[in-house]
Amino acid sequence: MREIKFRGKRIDNGEFVYGFYHKDVTQSWIYCAESESLWGFREVEDSTVGEYTGLKDKNGKEIYEEDLVNLTGIIGYGQKTIEKHKVIFSEGKFGVFNGYDFIDLFEFINAPKGNAVEVIGNIYEHSHLLDNK
């Protein structure tokens, strides 16, 4: 079973917090650990809230919606390709849209072809990495 959690950018200082998401009529909150024994609600910008995919990249970093990732894979006659994409949730799964097809991240990472995913940023802080995609 995958771990359900979210991240969002705090309203007060712009830093990301990770935890449980709550939205009421006018505000969005992440309930997060402040320390080992202290938890608290932090108000976040609703537009920056993204869900954890349950997957980690090749370096062990958690992958969230709206992350920017490099996909590296073997295609055709053993040719290696690297592409930058934004992680989205579509059709009940997390993946990327490469302009032609939706690529399921779970299937891509677990394919026996030597595929790899690496988080290189997120659209809120590193949108310039997308090269106008």
The residue count of the chain comes to 133
Q: Are 61 and 53 in contact (CB under 8 A)?
A: no
Q: Spell out the residues 6+ positions from residue 81 whose beta carbon is closer than 8 angstroms to its own.
A: 71, 72, 73, 75
Residue 129: band (very low, low, confident or very high) from pLDDT cuts 50, 70, 90: confident
Per-residue pLDDT tens over the stretch 49-97 = 999 999 999 999 999 999 999 988 865 556 667 788 999 999 899 999 8
Share the mean pLDDT of the chain. 86
Q: Are 58 and 69 in contact (CB under 8 A)?
A: no
CA 50 to chain centre: 7
**Residue 38 to residues 72, 81, 127, Cα–Cα distance (Å):** 40, 45, 33
Q: Give the architecture (CATH level 2) of 52-130.
A: Roll (2.30)
